Amino acid sequence: MKPSGVELLRVRMPLVAPFRTSFGTQNVRELLLVRVVTPNGEGWGECVTMGGPLYSSEYVDGAEHVLRNFLVPALMEAGEVTASQVVPRLARFKGHRMAKAALEMAVLDAELRAHDLSFAAALGSTRDSVPCGVSVGIMDSVPQLLDVVGGYLDAGYVRIKLKIEPGWDVEPVRAVRERFGDDVLLQVDANTAYTLSDVSQLARLDPFELLLIEQPLDEEDLLGHAELARRIRTPVCLDESIVSARSAADAITLGACRIVNIKPGRVGGYLEARRVHDVCAAHGIPVWCGGMIETGLGRAANVALASLPGFTLPGDTSASDRFYRTDITEPFVLKDGHLPVPQGPGLGVTPIPDLLAEVTTSTVWLGS
Ligand SMILES: CSCC[C@@H](NC(=O)CCC(=O)O)C(=O)O
Ligand SMILES: [Mg+2]
């Protein structure tokens, strides 16, 4: 299909509560949405960059700049293009995987809607609902943490993920185990906050039978993760380190991880995310779908991805109300700890115009 134009929308959505990780606290989600218009209809993409380059080197102003000045013009010059040709056509531009992923997602959505195919069907879904985990931020106190965790368990979440950092690790994990028992599926995410010199502290998590410890070390330290994995019992899972199917194969071969968190934006798109899934499956490595506090657009695509066979661990595919009082799409509502996989054409959801307008701070039209 030949896009006739692309709209970039800057969106600001307040979070229901501050979300604190080892790299900072978020109260508002600054987002960039991409709307691709083609003769056969339109498609939506969501760029998962954070407001600043804190989770990774990408950030929302940079993504908007690279889309406006390089990626969208290149797409428009390409003429007829299928979704699977988008990323290869942009390969000459280095990096900016989240920006490229958003553009591919929008073209893929338009293409699938035109062919009356869902993301789930196109990606190889084998389930009609997915079990949902939830990510819990660093809190001001252990009692506050226990209240929040109790609320999510009451809501039906099947897995709890605790953000950790030096000074907030063993004590909160021990408290959750003591309060809620050994049967709760429990894991932790450090967002690169530790170094190999912290190995003895991280080994103190072993007695709590965690599902995994996510990205304890720097995203470029694969050998450090391999050494850590030899010295602790908790399985190491990588997030920030895995930026493509190739890097997943490298990390697995080096023994740097036994589990992979797949985030389509981080790896450069949903099509690459499926390749990461396939590489991990070939190595017997379980995967789960990570989250970047997406709106219902990205959430719809993530739930579809999470329904592929290799996604054997609950993901951070929580309900819309985990982060937002009002989503820009029909909300995703948890039912018996699961979310339904959208079956409609493309994403299966579209923004609700009034709700989108309320949170849109600027738009730019690029095209004829
Ligand atoms: C601002 S935190 C974004 C990255 C973080 N994501 C989550 O913790 C899950 C967020 C979500 O449920 O969308 C991660 O490193 O896994
Ligand atoms: Mg993570």
Catalytic residue among 94, 100, 161, 163: 163
pLDDT tier at 74, thresholds 50, 70, 90 = very high
Q: What is the mean pLDDT of residues 213-229?
A: 98
Tens of pLDDT, residues 148-199? 999 999 999 999 999 999 999 999 999 999 999 999 999 999 999 999 999 9
Q: Which residues pair with 6 in a beta bridge?
A: 36, 366
Mean pLDDT on 308-322: 98
Is pLDDT of 368 > 90? no
Distance 252 CA to ligand 1 centre (A): 22
Q: Let me know: does 322 contact 134? Beta carbons within 8 Å.
A: yes
DSSP code of residue 263: -
| Residue 189 beta carbon below 6 angstroms from any ligand 1 atom | yes
Contact 119, 300 (CB under 8 A): yes
| Distance from residue 114's CA to the centre of ligand 1 (Å) | 32
Q: What is the mean pLDDT of residues 274-289?
A: 98
Rounded average pLDDT over 21-44: 97
> Would residue 163 show up in a list of annotated catalytic residues for this protein?
yes
**Which stretches does DSSP call E strand in the chain?**
5-21, 24-38, 41-47, 129-131, 133-136, 159-163, 185-189, 213-214, 236-238, 259-262, 287-289, 338-340, 360-367
DSSP letters spanning 172-227? HHHHHHHHH-SSSEEEEE-TT---GGGHHHHHTTGGG--S-EE--S-TT-HHHHHH
What's the pLDDT tens digit per position in 78-121?
Answer: 889 999 999 999 999 999 999 999 999 999 999 999 999 999 99
Q: Model confidence at 1, in pLDDT bands (50, 70, 90)?
A: confident
Average model confidence (pLDDT) across the chain: 98
Q: What is the ipTM of this complex?
A: 0.99
Closest CA to 202 of 239, 228, 237, 172: 228
| Of 229, 237, 166, nearest in space to 198 by CA | 166
Q: How far apart are CA 137 and CA 124, in angstroms?
A: 32
What is the predicted pLDDT for the residue at 243? 98
At how many degrees (to 10) do helices 270-282 and 296-305 cross?
30
State the average pLDDT over residues 28-43. Answer: 97
CB atoms within 10 A of CB 235: 16
Band (pLDDT 50/70/90 cuts) for residue 312 is: very high
**Half-sphere exposure for 142 (CA within 13 Å, toward CB):** 13
| DSSP code, position 282 | H
According to the model, what pLDDT value does residue 146 have?
Answer: 98
At residue 120, the pLDDT reads 98
Atom 3 in ligand 1: which residue has the minimum CA distance?
292
**pLDDT for residue 115:** 97
pLDDT category at 282 given cuts 50, 70, 90 is very high
pLDDT > 70 fraction of the chain, expressed in percent and rounded: 100
Pair of tokens at residue 166: 């030096």
Check pocket membership of 290 for ligand 1, CB cut-off 6 A. yes
Share of the chain above pLDDT 90, in %: 99
Categorize the per-residue pLDDT at 349 as very low, low, confident or very high, splitting at 50, 70 and 90: very high
For ligand 2, a single-atom ion, which residues have Cβ within 5 Å? 189, 214, 239
Instruction: Spell 113-136 as b/e; 16+ CB within 10 A means b.
Output: bbeeebbbebbebebeebbbbbbb
Residue 26, ligand 1, Cβ within 6 A: yes
Cβ(293) – ligand 1 distance below 6 Å: yes
